[in-house]
Amino acid sequence: MRALKAGWLLLAAVCGTGFAPTVAANGAFTRVFEGTGRACSGNLYIRARTAEWNTPFSVCRPSRYEVLEKDLAREKKRLAIRLETRGRHCRYEVIEVEKVSRYGWNANGYPSVEAFDKRALPDWENSALPERMTLSCPVIER
């Protein structure tokens, strides 16, 4: 029976089914999210070394990233990363994911580190200026 369980776990890890662990061997935060709605449909992949976010209006191909903020110890997990390289179709330099409920997450895209840093300022929040445009998407973990 143990051999059968070990075989299934190995198969799940290799094939990428829902049984695979969500923390990589090196302790990195890894998740796959699926967006909902017109602007948010698509997938966000956060892997051990790369991240990618594809939506109808922004295509961010796999890119290495650096962690800007990370709080995974509490129930309300949160991670903010900066993509190291972006193609011309990728609108967001910074991606932030936060657990908002037992099953729900929110993903936010910021066009720059400056926009991320100033996101709570009244002049920046809900601004129509292109350099301040953000995307906020409810996402579910797959």
- Encode pLDDT of 63-80 as tens digits: 999 999 999 887 789 999
State the CB neighbour count (10 A cutoff) for residue 53.
28
The answer to whether 33 and 44 are in contact (CB under 8 A) is yes
- Encode pLDDT of 2-41 as tens digits: 443 444 344 344 444 333 334 444 567 899 999 988 889 9
Alpha-carbon span 125 to 122, nearest angstrom: 5
Given this model, what pLDDT does residue 20 score? Answer: 38
Alpha-carbon span 43 to 90, nearest angstrom: 14
User: Rounded mean pLDDT of the chain?
Assistant: 82
Given this model, what pLDDT does residue 27 score? Answer: 60
The answer to whether residue 120 scores a pLDDT higher than 60 is yes
- Residue 133 tokens read as 């445009």
Given this model, what pLDDT does residue 3 score? Answer: 45
